[in-house]
Amino acid sequence: MMTSKERFQTVLNHRSADRICVDFGATAVTGMHIRLIEALRRHYGLDDHPIKIADVFQMIGEIEPDLQEVIGVDIVGIKDRNTMFGFPLEDWKEFKTPWGQVCLVPGKFTTDVRDANGDYLMFPEGDTSLPPSGRMPQDNFFYDAIIRQDPIDDSKLNVEDNLEEFGPIPEESKAWIKRHLEAYKKTDKGIIMSIGGMQLGDVAAVPGVHMRHPKGIRDIAEWYMSTVMRPDYVKAIFERQTDIAVENLKTIYDIVGNDIDVMFICGTDLGTQDSQFCSDATFRDLYLPYYKKMNDWIHKNTTWKTFKHSCGAMVPLLPGLIDAGFDIINPVQINAKGMDSKFLKREFGDKLVFWGGGVDTQITMMHGTPAQVRDEVKRQCDIFGQDGGFVFNAVHNLQANMPVENAIAMIDTLREINHL
C-alpha cells in the first residue's frame, strides 16, 4: 500500500495509484463549513469540541487528523498566516455564531460588533476604529466583503495603489511556513502550499478587506469592467505583481525546497455557469504571460506542480491554462456548460490533473438523495480516476446548509471505493 504522499505524487504524474487520492481541507477552496464539520464529527463518534476556523471569510473549519482519517484524506495544506481580514490565526477564543454553534476564532476576530440590522461586522486587522470591511448577515453562514471604493478619477489612477498589498514575505510568515512544514513532514501526507500574492485579479482579494484604506480599483464590478476599459492599467499591475511573486517564490523555495508537492497559484474565477468572463484571446493577452512567468520559474527550479482554481464553464480556456503552464485545475464544475466529465478526461486528462469534480455541490449534494450522491461519487471516480490525474474533492467547499446525510453518503462511498 502506498503512503498518502506516494499516492499523491503518483496521481500528480498521471499514473495509477493504489486507490483514489483524496483532499478535504488542504486549501480554502476544498474544505467544509464549520457547521458541517461539527455534524460529521458527531456522526462518526469523534471528540465533540469547538471547531477552529481555518478561513474566516468563508467560515471554513479545520479538518483535524481524526476526521481526516475517517475520510481518507491524503493531503494537508500550508496556508497563509493571516486571515483574509489581515489578522493572524492565533490567540484562539470562543465565538457563538448566529446559528448557535460555538467555534474557535482568532483573537482579533470581532465577536461583538453588529450594525443596525444585527449583522456581524468585521474590520481590517481587527481594528474597530476603522470602517468595517466585512459583514455576516445574522441569517447567513459566512462573510461578504464591504466595498470601500473611493471615487475613481482615471487621470489620477496610480498602479501602485493596486499593488499596496503585495510585497516581500514577512519574517513572521517565514517562521510560520517553517513550523508547519516541519510538522507536516512528520506525517505521510502530500503537501500543498497556499500563501497568496500570486492571484491575478481575484475578486475575493480585490476589495482589500484586510487593508486599512484600500486605494485604486476596489469595487468588484469596476474591476471586471477595467479588464476591458483599462487593460494597460491592469497589465501594469499584473507585471509588477508577478515580479514580486517570483521573488517570493525564490524565498519560499529557500525555506521548503522540494518538500512540498504543489503550489496554489491563483483563485481568479474565469468561468460563469454557462460561459466565461473573457474570451480565449483576452485570456492569452491579459493573463497568460504573467501566469506563465510564475509557472515557468517553478517548473525550471522546483519539482512542484501548480494549481489553478477557477469555477464555471472552463472548456474554451483550458488550452490557454495548459499553455500558461498549469498542472492542475480545480474545482472542475461538472454542472457548468460543456464540463462533461468524460469529455474533460478524454481531451485534457493527459495534461491536467482534475482536483475536484468528485460530486456536484450545487445540485446533487444540496438537493439530491443519499442514493444519488453515492451513484455520482462512484461514477465520477470511475471516469476521472482512470490512469491517475485525479484528486477527489467536491466541486468547491461543502456548505453549511448541505444535508449532513448527503455528506455522510459521499464519505462512506469514498471509503467503500478505497476499501477503508
Q: How does pLDDT run along the chain (420 residues), one tens digit per residue?
A: 999 999 999 999 999 999 999 999 999 999 999 999 999 999 999 999 999 999 999 999 999 999 999 999 999 999 999 999 999 999 999 999 999 999 999 999 999 999 999 999 999 999 999 999 999 999 999 999 999 999 999 999 999 999 999 999 999 999 999 999 999 999 999 999 999 899 999 999 999 999 999 999 999 999 999 999 999 999 999 999 999 999 999 999 999 999 999 999 999 999 999 999 999 999 999 999 999 999 999 999 999 999 999 999 999 999 999 999 999 999 999 999 999 999 999 999 999 999 999 999 999 999 999 999 999 999 999 999 999 999 999 999 999 999 999 999 999 999 999 999
Residue 12 is predicted with a pLDDT of 98
Answer for the pair 279, 286: CB distance below 8 angstroms, yes or no: no
HSE toward the beta carbon, residue 209, CA cutoff 13 A: 25
Residue written as cell 476591458? 228
Residue 297 is predicted with a pLDDT of 98
DSSP, res 132: P
- Tell me the residue type at 155: S
The listed CATH number (3.20.20.210, 3.40.640.10, 3.30.500.10, 1.10.132.20) that belongs to domain 4-89+150-417: 3.20.20.210
C-alpha to C-alpha distance for 51 and 14, rounded to whole angstroms? 35
306-342 pLDDT tens trace = 999 999 999 999 999 999 999 999 999 999 999 999 9
Q: Helix or strand or coil: residue 151?
A: coil
Quick one: angle between helices 171-185 and 231-256, nearest 10?
50
Q: Helix or strand or coil: residue 71?
A: helix
Answer for the pair 164, 124: CB distance below 8 angstroms, yes or no: no
Residue 61 is predicted with a pLDDT of 98
Answer for the pair 20, 381: CB distance below 8 angstroms, yes or no: yes
Residue 404 is predicted with a pLDDT of 98
CA distances 43 to 40, 66, 95, 402, 408, Å, are 5, 13, 23, 15, 8
The residues, any chain, with a CB within 8 Å of residue 289's CB and separated by 6 or more, are none
Answer for the pair 310, 270: CB distance below 8 angstroms, yes or no: yes
Which residues of the chain are in CATH 3.20.20.210 domains? 4-89+150-417
Residue 189 is predicted with a pLDDT of 98
Residue written as cell 492569452? 284
Q: What is the DSSP string of 36-96?
A: HHHHHHHHTT----PEEEEETTTTEEP--HHHHHHHT--EEEEE-SB-TTS-BS-S-EEEE
Q: In 230-340, which residue ranges form alpha helices assigned H by DSSP?
A: 231-256, 280-286, 288-301, 318-323
C-alpha to C-alpha distance for 249 and 301, rounded to whole angstroms? 10
The residues, any chain, with a CB within 8 Å of residue 8's CB and separated by 6 or more, are 21, 74, 75, 189, 190, 261, 391
DSSP, res 33: B
Residue 59 is predicted with a pLDDT of 98
Phi-psi region of 76 (alpha: psi -120 to 50; beta: other; left: phi over 0): beta
Residue 156 is predicted with a pLDDT of 93
